[in-house]
Structure 1
Amino acid sequence: MMKQFFAALQFMTRLPVPARWTADLSLNSYARGVIWLPVVGLVVGAICALVFAVTQPLFGTPLAALLTVVANAMVTGAFHLDGLADTCDGIFSARQRDRMLDIMRDSRIGTNGALAMIFAIGLRLMAIVALNGIPGGAIPYIIAAPCLSRALIGLLMYRQRYARENGLGNVYIGQISGHHFAVMLLLGFLLTLLFTRMHGAIAGLIVLAIAYGYRARINAVLGGQTGDTLGCGVEIFEWLFLLAALLLATLLRTTLLHFTPGLLL
């Protein structure tokens, strides 16, 4: 089991994992190891939260948030940002399906991909800054967001068609069982609940609903999922979770101010 965890950690991050820890693993083992993806997210989130906790008292919230976003990109090797850029370059190219897939495989980044990365980084950055102003601060959400996002990409794997003939995404897409999908989803929500309580869990449910829409849209346009659409999903689900949590916090504060105007003064 631990070999599967280290394999998932090696696949989804740039953290050093000794080769002997993942030796002799088959491709089927990688598919079974999806249950560890929320824990991989926990590792990523914990590192990012540590960066924020250390730098926020020194440099203030905006710069600490920027360094946290940089840390996320460094730990993951910008793996998911690359998937976001490639997916947006492809699906917004207004070409036929086969040409979209060719564009997504191209190593060059187009206008749509560049804009998508700028918007994603900006949204994550500003969401962290805003969340640090709510009770409990941003750190619980910085930890929980990668856990939840990596759990939700199970939606893009379970009983899904791989849109290409070959590629890295074929290791997971259409290869995981219902049991593995249920475990990774449950674990992701349990970790989210642990760090962000019911507020974060409700935000997670909102993102879950949106994730079904994302899956349907990708399937309609590309005829299936790819490794790029998985990475794109991780990015989208993370900042959507942060925004949903911020929205809920704002609505709660507005409601409390309306019904008990003196309580929060």
Structure 2
Amino acid sequence: MRGLRAALAFLTRLPSGRLEAEDFACAPAWFGVVGLLIGALLALVFVVADALWPATLAALVTVAAGLLITGGLHEDGVADVFDGLGSGRPKERALEIMRDSRIGSFGALALGLALAARILALAALGPLVVVSLIAGQGLSRVMMALLLRAGPYARASGAATGMTGPFGPQGAAVLGATLLVSLALMGYHAGWAVFGGLAGLILSVWLVRLWMMRRIGGLTGDAFGAAQVLGDVGFLLGLLACL
């Protein structure tokens, strides 16, 4: 279970106990499980907030809670990717921009639109919002793990370079089980609309990878964060399109 605790430490600010550097090599297989946990916490936040305020405000509170749980890790990736790739600069300069802690206009606009789309989509999902939060957080992090292991990694070193090895039989089983649980949960409540959500998720992640590969020839830690955020938004929008 050290891989699970490593995934929890990497993806969230929740307590995870003492870990060694080698524990993080097993973390990606547990990304989806951590996503389900995050989704369950956010679903609880939404239920409480929805009892107090209108759906849009409840969705805003829920998204804010997600930022607190993860420390805005993935959202930072969205801003960095759009700043770096949107700059139109050559590869090395784009990578430098992506490492810059300051946010530029491209990043601010992209992040603002992504957060707004997520808030509005959650508010519009009605009775499906609870299961959508759980499944969306789980599935988007499964895709994040698959993207990480698919590579190629664009930097010689970085936050994700120690997690690019194979999953192994146990890791693949954990990741596969998380995928099936997420799809079954969503499919039971949303029926065939789950395939619209899955299509939106896959398309969003594929576009992030395509853009990264064409601009700099590889992926970075920021790309994985952007894929999670935009994949989750794509999942929610795909669901809404098919309901």
State TM-score, norm by structure 2. Answer: 0.91
Identical residues among aligned pairs (%)? 36
Counterpart-to-counterpart distance in 2, 1:180 and 1:214: 28
Counterpart-to-counterpart distance in 1, 2:211 and 2:169: 25
Counterpart-to-counterpart distance in 2, 1:196 and 1:159: 26
Per the alignment, residue 92 of structure 1 pairs with 86
Residue 166 (structure 2) pairs with residue 176 (structure 1): yes
> Equivalences for 1:1-16 in 2 at 5 Å?
2-16=1-15
Aligned length: 239
Per the alignment, residue 237 of structure 1 pairs with 231
Tell me, which stretches of 5 or more residues in structure 2 are unaligned? none
Per the alignment, residue 144 of structure 1 pairs with 135
Per the alignment, residue 34 of structure 2 pairs with 40
Task: Select 2:157's aligned residue among 131, 153, 166.
Answer: 166
Residue 46 (structure 2) pairs with residue 52 (structure 1): yes
Match for 1:15: what amino acid? L
Residue 113 (structure 2) pairs with residue 122 (structure 1): no
Match for 2:2: what amino acid? K
Task: Select 1:156's aligned residue among 123, 134, 147.
Answer: 147
Match for 2:89: what amino acid? R
Asked whether the 8 Å contact 2:208–2:223 carries over to 1, the reply is: no
Match for 2:165: what amino acid? Q
Counterpart-to-counterpart distance in 1, 2:203 and 2:109: 25
Match for 1:46: what amino acid? A
Residue 65 (structure 2) pairs with residue 79 (structure 1): no
Q: How far did 1:101 drift?
A: 0.2
Structure number, greater radius of gyration: 1
Tell me, which stretches of 5 or more residues in structure 1 are unaligned? 250-265
Q: Deviations over 1:183-202 (max 9, x none)?
A: 46523431322321144641
Q: How far did 1:216 drift?
A: 2.5
Task: Select 1:216's aligned residue among 210, 218, 225.
Answer: 210
Match for 2:33: what amino acid? V
Q: How far did 1:161 drift?
A: 1.9
Asked whether the 8 Å contact 2:201–2:235 carries over to 1, the reply is: yes
Counterpart-to-counterpart distance in 2, 1:179 and 1:206: 28
Residue 179 (structure 2) pairs with residue 189 (structure 1): yes
State TM-score, norm by structure 1. Answer: 0.84
| RMSD, matched Cα | 1.9
Match for 2:83: what amino acid? D
Counterpart-to-counterpart distance in 1, 2:81 and 2:170: 26
Counterpart-to-counterpart distance in 1, 2:110 and 2:194: 27
Q: How far did 1:116 drift?
A: 1.1
